[in-house]
Amino acid sequence: MTLEQLKTFIKVAEVESFSQAGKALHLSQPSISCHILALEEELKTRLFDRLGKRRIVITKPGKSLLKYARRMIGLEMKAKMAIDDLQNLKRGEIRLGTSNIPGAYLLLPTIKKFTTENPRVKISSHISDTQGIVNEVLNGSFDLGVVGKKSKIQQLHYDDLIDDTMVLALPPSHPLAGKSSISIKEFQTLPLLIREEGSGSRDTVEKVLNHEGIDINTLMIVAQLGNTEAIKQGIKAGLGCSLISYCAIVDEVKYGLIKYVSIKELIFKRKFYIVLPKLIFTLPLINYFKDYLLQNISLLNNTSNNSREKVG
């Protein structure tokens, strides 16, 4: 029993004519007859009664088969639609906005894996501060974002993606660079490089310090810089120290270009989030990519786990 035979059977039952069914299906009448005969031989029953040369009537067994044949053809159509939808999922463009740390240090391995598996999908990735990304997601410039803090805007939806650990990074020549940890008092004497307002990194630092009763404005801030790479270059140049995500300095630590310490009684941890606008309808491709990021979080965690092991 084939789907072609069932389609022929359904059409014959609908038009009650072999010749009319042949015209509708663009098949010869002998082909129509062969399909029906094959079904009858397989099922060992007559599906139509021939009344004269032109008139046919479906039999009781034929009526029973017709009900299931229509279901089977319907399932075939749904299966094709499902496959087509899946294929359409895997083509198109995704406009992704990310804050500095996830965009430059965490997401790239997963984006590479995704584009390798889905070569017809183009990802346009843009890096900015968290507040800038949130604004662009909200106004529709980005399909989704990955950021370091949640906003209170009700029109946005957040999914937890990955944890991040921040450490105090110092120039290798700094007197405190040989320690594993320093006191809060020692920290308060250091020249600091900080991120700009609107940055998720700065927001995390301010929250932790505020919890300990420390106002960031009372610290010795020597420069406010607009991205993580500038912070790293400032540290290497001896301009100052900075609280920074460990994953951003893995290579520098490995080659002795930057040292890091923890601060006693201060733990700088945060989450990164996927942010999307709350829409009645979200493109299937965007949901597919979001789910892919969430499902491949272990791949992202390779870097983060290394940071926990070294920092801990």
- Cβ 196 vs Cβ 132: under 8 Å: no
- Taking the CA atoms of residue 287, residue 288, residue 290 and residue 291 in that order, the dihedral angle to the nearest 10 degrees is 110
Q: Bridge-partner residues for 93, per DSSP?
A: 122
Q: What is the pLDDT of residue 76?
A: 84
**So what's the pLDDT on residue 312?**
45
The domain over range 92-162+271-311 is classified in CATH as 3.40.50.2000: no
Which CATH number does the domain 3-88 belong to among 3.40.50.2000, 1.10.10.10, 2.60.40.420, 3.40.630.30? 1.10.10.10
The reported pTM is 0.66
Token representation of residue 67? 């009900």
Is 3-88's fold the same as 164-269's? no
Question: What mean pLDDT is predicted for residues 27-41?
Answer: 90
Identify the pLDDT of residue 304.
45
Among 16, 23, 1, CA closest to 72 = 1
Query: Residues 198-225: what's their mean pLDDT?
Result: 92
Query: Does residue 305 surpass a pLDDT of 90?
Result: no
- Give dist(CA 268, CA 203) in Å, integer: 11
What's the average model confidence in pLDDT over 284-288? 88
User: Residue 197 — very low, low, confident or very high, per pLDDT cuts 50/70/90?
Assistant: confident
Among 34-48, 89-103, 257-271, 290-304, the minimum mean pLDDT is found in 290-304
Averaged confidence pLDDT in the chain:
88
Tokens 């290579």: give the residue: 251
Q: pLDDT by residue (tens digit) across 132-159?
A: 999 999 888 899 999 988 988 999 999 9
Residue 38: pLDDT above 90?
yes
pLDDT at 310: 45
Q: Would you kindly state where each structural domain of the chain is located, as residue ranges?
A: 3-88, 92-162+271-311, 164-269
On the 0-12 / 13-18 / 19+ scale of CB atoms within 10 A, 77 is exposed
Give me the amino acid identity at 113.
Answer: K
pLDDT for res 254 = 94
Alpha helix segments (H runs only) across the chain: 3-15, 18-25, 29-43, 60-89, 100-101, 108-117, 130-138, 184-187, 200-211, 228-236, 250-254, 284-295, 297-311
CATH number for the domain formed by residue range(s) 164-269: 3.40.190.10
